[in-house]
Structure formats: structure tokens, C-alpha cells
Amino acid sequence: MTTPPELSAKITALYVGKVEERWPGKAPSAIGKKPTNEPLHLEENGFVEDAQADLKVHGGPEKALHHYAADHMNFWRRMFPDKAEIFVPSCFGENISTVGMIEETLCLGDILTLGTATVEICQGRQPCWKLSAHTGLKQMAAVFQKSGRTGWYYRVKEPGIVQAGDEIRLQHRAHAAWPLSRVISARFDRNIRPEDATALSRLPALSASWREAFEKKGQKGFQENTDARLKS
């Protein structure tokens, strides 16, 4: 484990949501998060005050919280100038918004204090069709994935209380060779080098689902079909 760089940020906002019927004939969603200034209780599966609709693919110990960098909002406003007004923190259904921490400055397995809690970065986000429906941009999920600006998920190492205005601070770094930007790029790379896929599949800091995915991606001839996730 290397000595981590000094890296911290103020939690500018926290967001929680409830399950809603958003789109006729489609599955419900809790992607519509609202800001709260109340202290939130962070436990193994996320904020007690938050909800997820489909627990098979959202929430749980390895997707307890989604953190998205507000630093990226100008990128999205430039990408979609006709809908620039929608690109504000919480627009992607994240739980945490900060300025000063992005995928290039964080690494897989980084351990951070979050209010009185402790969390560990365990994967990036795999967007699904609900992101497109939520933003009203049909291509959003695919463009979001391709951009690499997906944000990241935490697993909870120590429960605690978190509130907007608290500090998030890097405490330990175990995988300096695997910045999140590299891990996320590898996850969606159809031509990933087998040795990289194998190396990632063996990292215990990585979520079980992503380790399994990299194990498959390391097999000769494997091609992942993302149509159901991105286009349903």
C-alpha cells in the first residue's frame, strides 16, 4: 500500500430518492434523487433514507453509494447544448456531489472517510436505459458509458453519519496502478488485452460483478452484448 496523495473535497450536496412509476409500461425507478441537508445514516446497503427500485442491479453492498463529480457538468452542457439546463448535480441520479475528485485522480480500492463513515471505491457505473429515459436523451446511456465520466460506487467499510458540507478525504491507496479512469475504460473496451482483463479479475477490491465480467473478457472470443442494458 503506497502513501496516498493529499486528496479531499467538501460534500457539496447529498441526494436521496424513492421508487416511482416514471414511464408507462416500463420498470419503476428511484433515479430521481432530491437534495437533503439532513444528516443521513450510511449502512452496508447505502443511505437508510434512500431507495432503489431493482435491487438485482442497483444498490446492495457493492453499489451502496454513487458519487458523481460536478466537475463534469460543463462537459455535458457542451455535449448537449440544447439541453444544457438539465446538467446540474443530481441529474444522473447520484447520491454524492463534489468538486475536485474525478475518475483520473481516484483509484480502484481507494479508502476514504465520508463524514463519520469509511468507504471503499469498488467499481465505476454501468449506465442503463433508465438514464436515457430520465434525461430525455435517447443516446445518453451509450454516450455516458463511452465518455468514461461515469462516476463510481462505494462499498461501506464502516457505517456512519454523512451530511452535506462534510469532508470526504482519501486515507489509503492500494492500487495506484489502477486509476478509476483506466478501470472504467477497460470495463467497456471490446478489445481489452487479455492480461489486463485477467489482472483486474483477480483484484479483491473490485466488485464481484466486475471481477466476473473481466474474467469473461479475458477469454478468447468473448463478446459482451450490452443491448438489453442500454436500449431496453
**Which tens digits make up the pLDDT trace of 142-169?**
999 999 999 999 999 999 999 999 999 9
**Cα 213 from chain centre:** 17
- 180 Cβ contact list (under 8 Å, min separation 6): 103, 104, 106, 107, 108, 121, 124, 152
In this predicted model, which residue has the larger pLDDT, 94 or 55? Answer: 94
What is the per-residue pLDDT across 175-230, written as a single tens digit (0 to 9) for each?
A: 999 999 999 999 999 999 999 999 999 999 999 999 999 999 998 888 888 887 88
**CB atoms closer than 10 angstroms to residue 16:** 18
What's the pTM value of the predicted model, to 2 decimals?
A: 0.95
Per the prediction, the chain carries an average pLDDT of 95
The gap between the terminal CA atoms of the chain, to the nearest Å, is 42
Summarised one tens digit per residue, pLDDT across range 11-41 is: 999 999 999 999 999 989 999 999 999 999 9
Tell me how far apart the alpha carbons of residues 214 and 217 are, in angstroms, rounded to a whole number: 5
170-207 as b/e: b if 16+ CB within 10 A: beebbbeebbbbbbbebbbeeebeeebbeebbebebbb
For 8-187, give the CATH class.
Answer: mainly beta
Nearest to 20 by CA among 53, 57, 60, 54: 53
